[in-house]
Structure 1
């Protein structure tokens, strides 16, 4: 597994990989000695990600991991120690990190050098510090959860030095009779904005409630309740929780959060989404109109070579239109790649299949979401390769099969176009071919990927990859 991962994700040579394999064999011993999980990570082509190529769990104490993380990525934002040591070759001690299972640990990292002194990987030891982190996040939990706030509020309700005094959200406390006994500055400011002239302290719950909840129901069903209410131009999120002292309910806390701006932003996004859909719809229509005009023009020309150029241009324009058609339907900037490729296949079957030939085309593999810019580039490449296969692969044949295979990867995904045609000499490809130049340019400059062509007398396989988001 280590060798396979290194060949796929790294640029390490055979001797470097062999050295990492030797070290990986003693990882279990190291894990037991340090009583911790240990890993070997290697650099990838992405400067912000490393790949886990080996791991070992201690047998002398419980492991922090439920599953294997070999083959998973270590991202800079989660594991800065690993990436730092890989880059500068210096050991990193006791730096916090987030694991692939979303647990907080403390990492110590040392570099692994080859015979030339180059860093070829890092050895990582991890210690569980979840308890410490939970303690550090105590105030965050208190501020977020109303039920946890109430115990503190009861003890410090009148102090201006408490956290609640400086929270912008409105906090109102009611006693067992439903009378307001505490309101922080956020609450007083909110009710003043709603037109209340008197102090809210001493008011009955029925005069302050904004969403129609019943006080008796709240105090008799002591569980956290959340609702949303529109008051004037404000949209408010309201939480209720019963307050307890010594397991006895002594009142109710009401926390009100102004989410007006959030809802306004959501409305703006919806309106923008509608506008974007309309734009994509018009672009698609314009592209199809251009393709139709070119088609009409080509019919007036009796030159086969010129008509061939016209048809190639029409197919390229229609392949771009496919992306805008899907974007017009979705209203978002992300599209499903398999849907794009399937539409190109259907268009090819409808307009591009050679006469008197029975050629079947299938689309298989994974579904993955990509942005519109990448979708347009991939659509052009797939269309170009598919048209090329239809034009050249089945000369002298009456039937054939083309398979388009999509494979999703962790860092790079790929698309393969495989036919069972007559094949060709890869070395004899015309370097001046416009179609091939378009494909090479898009794959390299737009998709930041690689193109590989393999052909024999039994058929041709062309594969190109592209970096994931």
Structure 2
């Protein structure tokens, strides 16, 4: 199914700014749908035959839908969309007409013109279609919902809704059913839904909200006076016609998320709408996760310290050993332990440690620099990385850093003669499902008859074991197209 942007770009001549406005509206119109107890369908005119295409649809959470089937992409014309044509031509909300039937479902039609700016052209029509099959008692809650929905509908026509989105802010919460408070132009509460009243009771308000100055209530209840005064300023901003950012308020161990929206039908400020959601349990779980993450980071920090201690002890032992072969073996062990410690050091500083995610490029660069420093070769060899690893899970990062450490040291020690000039390049080819790493050098190449599987070098045995076992991939050594040697490692990125 095509997206709203795809349909608008393909079938209309609307500008990118108009398309962005429709996207913002589709991101916020669940609020209008729930307050209206109605389905909302976004229609745009297509062609010059009076036809309209539905480019977006939302169903109410508070009432049964009028449409069991998806309407996006459907083109309609003739009498079926006559109300849309009238709303577009006259630039006003259309509410006349008798109920219509969709199969066995009776529905009431309304049409709301959409403008991007006050007095601008109508860029789309919102069809507001209410399922009439379920009789509804006109309770106080329903009347306040419908009144607020009508105010927001007029603001859509005026180009005043939705508000400009604040960068980084989502549109997921709070919703109408979480709790709703309506304010008059002075900031006094004229209606509070039962869920909103319950949320304020959690904050410590025993009185009923109706008649209270909401800004003063927040200032009185908030645990932090500065937070309370800040919330009061946001309420005042909404009453002036602004749309402030969402904010959380804490009091007496409870936390509520608030969103204030101005009500300005026909450009006249008449009050504000405040949505309330009790997020106490959500924040409690967040704090537990933060504690868990801090514990995991501390574990990685201690593992890194322990590995560095092991490396230091091995280094001390290597200095006391007289046999060159034994000293070399210990020094290789120091490098291998240090490369693993790099992964744990990175994890100990990661803000995404709960997902055990590692930014791998920095680790490879440090391993390459260490390999160049500790290699006994006296050749003039440079190292560089071509491509990016991106982020990798720790279960891949640990064996991979050991494999790369061995391959880089192997290239530095065995590919070049004393006094040679050359280069070692780490090339990365990453797709969605697989990662291929090529360690290429410009050295003397592989000896005749070389067979990786038959090699008795410890470093290559470690590489082969980790590549096929831990990483579940393949490793091959081959001659480079322009000379030298290429070690090609490929393995899947799927979670183990």
Q: Normalising by structure 1, what TM-score? A: 0.61
Q: Tell me: CA distance 1:156–1:250, structure 2 relative to 1, closer, same or farther (3 Å).
A: farther
Query: CA shift at 1:184, angstroms?
Result: 1.5
Matched, 1:139 2:164: no
Report what 1:464 is aligned to: 489
Matched, 1:311 2:335: no
Report what 2:167 is aligned to: none
Report what 1:362 is aligned to: 384
Contact 1:340 1:375 in 2 (8 A): no
Report what 1:158 is aligned to: 141
Distance in 2 between the 1:462 and 1:290 partners? 30
Counterpart among 179, 183, 189 of residue 174 in structure 1: 183
Matched, 1:228 2:252: no
Distance in 2 between the 1:396 and 1:215 partners? 75
Counterpart among 363, 371, 393 of residue 348 in structure 1: 371
Q: Tell me: CA distance 1:305–1:252, structure 2 relative to 1, closer, same or farther (3 Å).
A: same
Contact 1:224 1:241 in 2 (8 A): yes
Q: Tell me: CA distance 1:339–1:179, structure 2 relative to 1, closer, same or farther (3 Å).
A: closer
Report what 1:119 is aligned to: none
Q: Tell me: CA distance 1:258–1:465, structure 2 relative to 1, closer, same or farther (3 Å).
A: same
Q: Tell me: CA distance 1:312–1:168, structure 2 relative to 1, closer, same or farther (3 Å).
A: same
Contact 2:187 2:271 in 1 (8 A): yes
Q: Tell me: CA distance 1:274–1:217, structure 2 relative to 1, closer, same or farther (3 Å).
A: closer
Matched, 1:337 2:360: yes
Segment of structure 1 superposing worse, 312-321 or 189-198: 189-198
Q: Which runs of 5+ in 2 are unaligned?
A: 13-52, 64-125, 131-137, 149-174, 220-230
Distance in 2 between the 1:225 and 1:360 partners? 52
Q: Tell me: CA distance 1:358–1:221, structure 2 relative to 1, closer, same or farther (3 Å).
A: same
Distance in 2 between the 1:389 and 1:328 partners? 30
5 Å-filtered alignment, 1:173-322, equals 173-209=182-218, 211-213=231-233, 217-221=237-241, 223=243, 226-243=246-263, 249-322=269-342
Distance in 2 between the 1:293 and 1:234 partners? 52
Q: CA RMSD in A?
A: 3.8
Q: Normalising by structure 2, what TM-score? A: 0.58
Report what 1:391 is aligned to: 413
Secondary structure of the corresponding residue to residue 212 of structure 1? helix
Contact 1:405 1:415 in 2 (8 A): yes
Q: Tell me: CA distance 1:383–1:249, structure 2 relative to 1, closer, same or farther (3 Å).
A: same
Q: Tell me: CA distance 1:404–1:217, structure 2 relative to 1, closer, same or farther (3 Å).
A: closer
Matched, 1:444 2:468: yes
Contact 1:167 1:186 in 2 (8 A): no
Distance in 1 between the 2:289 and 2:372 partners? 38
Query: CA shift at 1:214, angstroms?
Result: 7.2
Deviations 1:90-122 (A, max 9, x none): xxxxxxxxxxxxxxxxxxxxxxxxxxxxxxxxx
Report what 1:412 is aligned to: 434
Distance in 1 between the 2:370 and 2:458 partners? 21
Distance in 1 between the 2:359 and 2:205 partners? 52
Q: How many pairs are equivalent?
A: 333
Deviations 1:115-156 (A, max 9, x none): xxxxxxxxxxxxxxx947x33x332699xxxxx9xxx9xx86
Report what 2:79 is aligned to: none
Distance in 1 between the 2:407 and 2:441 partners? 11
Q: Tell me: CA distance 1:440–1:199, structure 2 relative to 1, closer, same or farther (3 Å).
A: same
Query: More strand by proportion, 1 or 2?
Result: 1
Distance in 2 between the 1:359 and 1:424 partners? 18
Q: Tell me: CA distance 1:296–1:214, structure 2 relative to 1, closer, same or farther (3 Å).
A: closer
Secondary structure of the corresponding residue to residue 383 of structure 2? strand
Q: Tell me: CA distance 1:207–1:396, structure 2 relative to 1, closer, same or farther (3 Å).
A: closer
Query: CA shift at 1:339, angstroms?
Result: 0.8
Q: Which runs of 5+ in 1 are unaligned?
A: 1-35, 38-56, 64-129, 143-147
Secondary structure of the corresponding residue to residue 346 of structure 2? helix
Q: Tell me: CA distance 1:181–1:386, structure 2 relative to 1, closer, same or farther (3 Å).
A: same
Distance in 2 between the 1:468 and 1:131 partners? 40
